[in-house]
Amino acid sequence: MLQPYRGMKGKLVKLVNLSGSKASIYSVIIPGESVTLYERFIQENASSFKSELKDINDRLKAIGKTVGAREQYFKLDEGIPGDGVCALYDDPDKRLRLYCIRYGTQLVILGGGGPKPKCIRALQEDPKLTEENYYLRELSDKITERLKEKDILFSKSGLDFEGDLEFNDEDDE
Amino acid sequence: MNNSEIYKSSIIDDLLGSTTSEESEKIEKRMLLAAKIDDAIKAKGWKNKDLLKALNKDNPSVVTKWLSGTHNFTIDTLFDLERVLEVNLVNLEEKPKRTIAVSYLHMEVTRTVPVMEPIFQETILGICKSGDVSIRLKQKVTPLGQEPIKSTEFWSCISSGWLDHSKTEQKRFSKNIESQLVPLA
């Protein structure tokens, strides 16, 4: 049974299976967990939404290797203005929502997500989606701080983060 | 400066492995098609609402869905998009493959190219037309790893046409090319 995570801890890692010449796909490993947030999202939904997961996974691979992280493939403005938190586009008749942070067309950080209950109007009405979304908001905030301080830089190719990619609650305070 | 940690996931690999290559190709092509439509909208200087207006539609979420790379378009919708965006999305013309040989200076290049497609790779120098054949001649030609030749030398280089034509047709074609070569401004 996967335990829920709390607090702003984690390390950015580049998912080599999905990344390519068009975009790099990152996710986050939470200390004490053996899988990334994106893998956890797969595990949590594999039994009920296998076909949606396959579609999401293939779209992410196409973004990394063929088409890049164009704005049109995402549902934008899922966080606070300017923080890049978004969701991979999900059709109203699909159930799964996957949150991410997008940095232009070349970098995406995958977080977690979950099934969208049909009865809710805002993500805050669903605790699981709220937790996943707010984690990324906080992560985006920390990354922005480090970019400002130059503790994190974009690589020359624009395809990678460089620098201190590990986050703890106590950092940046 | 630390580089990002590379992470290879067997969970992701397993999921990728559970999709057939045909399914993956379809997903990729849908995303490429969506990108082409988005590029065509931008090329016209349009916003999504302009596209809606041109198509006499009023629901913005329709365009969002089209551009998401997940939509399974009907042929009619693609024809409508082609018409208003003035772009080719469904290719109905079969382009015959023909072999063309163009020799110039000490080099001879033989390539199989679809009719109407550019042969050379660099700056466009001129365009020749002969019947339904159009060839773009380009300045910096580096076939077979040779040094680029200068444009002035290039004008007199063309000496042959389609290989699958008779010699007489090839000569006529070459003369046509030379007489119709129009340098671009």
Q: How confident is the model at residue B1 (pLDDT cuts 50, 70, 90)?
A: low
Residue A108: Cβ-neighbour burial (10 angstroms; 0-12, 13-18, 19+)? buried
Cα–Cα distance between B63 and A61 in angstroms, integer? Answer: 23
Distance between CA atoms of residues A46 and A48, nearest Å: 6
* Percent of residues, chain A, with pLDDT higher than 70: 94
- Can you give the pLDDT at residue A118? 80
Query: What separation in angstroms does the CA of A142 have from each of A29, A123, A125, A168?
Result: 15, 22, 25, 10
Q: How far apart are CA B91 and CA A105, in angstroms?
A: 28
Contact B69 A62 (CB under 8 A): yes
ipTM: 0.91
Inform me whether the pLDDT recorded for A75 exceeds 80.
yes
Please write the tens of the pLDDT for every residue from A115-153: 998 888 788 889 999 999 999 999 999 999 999 999 999
Q: Is B22 helix (H, G, I), strand (E, B) or coil?
A: helix
| Nearest residue on chain A to B68, alpha-carbon basis | A73
What's the pLDDT score for residue B77? Answer: 96
Written as one letter, the residue type at B68 is S
Give per-residue burial for A157-169: e unless 16+ CB within 10 Å, then b: eebbbebbbebee
| pLDDT (average), residues A166-172 | 76
Residue A143 burial by Cβ neighbours in a 10 Å radius (0-12, 13-18, 19+): buried
Paired with A15 in beta bridges are B7
pLDDT of residue A120: 81
- For B31, the closest chain A residue by CA position comes to A67
- Chain B hits for A63, Cβ within 8 Å: 31
3-state secondary structure A44-55: HHCCCCHHHHHH
Q: How far apart are CA A6 and CA B12, in angstroms?
A: 24
pLDDT at position A72 over 60: yes
Among A50-54, A101-105, A156-160, B145-149, where is mean pLDDT lowest? B145-149
Distance from A107 to chain B by nearest Cα, in Å? 12
Rounded to an integer, the average pLDDT of B151-160 is: 32
Beta bridge pairs of residue A97: A114
Q: How far apart are CA B74 and CA A108, in angstroms?
A: 31
Element (H, E) at B41: helix B21-43
Nearest to A36 among B3, B9, B15 (CB): B9
Gap between the Cα atoms of A61 and A106, Å rounded: 13
Q: Are A100 and A86 in contact (CB under 8 A)?
A: yes
Q: Do B35 and A70 touch (CB under 8 A)?
A: yes
Of A108, B8, A27, the closest CA to residue B16 belongs to: B8
DSSP 3-state of B160: coil
Q: In A, which residues are within 8 Å of B72 by CB distance?
A: none
Tell me what percent of chain A is helix, strand and coil, each rounded to the nearest 5: 30, 25, 40
The fraction of chain B above a pLDDT of 70, given in percent, is: 49
Residue B139 clears pLDDT 50, i.e. is over it: no
Q: What is the pLDDT of residue A125?
A: 86
Q: Which of A51-60, A156-165, B157-166 has the lowest mean pLDDT?
A: B157-166
Contact residues, B window 27-56, toward A, CB-based 8 Å cutoff: 27-28, 31-32, 34-35, 38
pLDDT at A83 over 90: yes
Find residues 111-140 of chain B whose CB sits inside 8 Å of chain A. none
- Residue A158: pLDDT band by 50, 70, 90 thresholds? very high
From B7, B16, B68, residue closest to A73, measured CB to CB: B68
Among B2, B11, B20, B62, most A C-beta atoms within 10 A, so best to mutate, is B11
The whole-angstrom separation of Cα B142 and Cα B146 is: 5
Model's pTM, two decimal places?
A: 0.73
Q: With an 8 Å Cβ cutoff, is B12 touching chain A?
A: yes
Cross-chain residue pair A67–B65, CB shorter than 8 Å? no
pLDDT for position B114? 36
Q: Is the pLDDT of residue A49 over 60?
A: yes
Name the residue facing A153 among B1, B18, B27 (closest C-beta): B1
Q: What pLDDT, in 10s, does the model give residues B13-67? A: 999 999 999 999 999 999 999 999 999 999 999 999 999 999 999 999 999 999 9
Averaged over A24-48, what is the pLDDT? Answer: 96
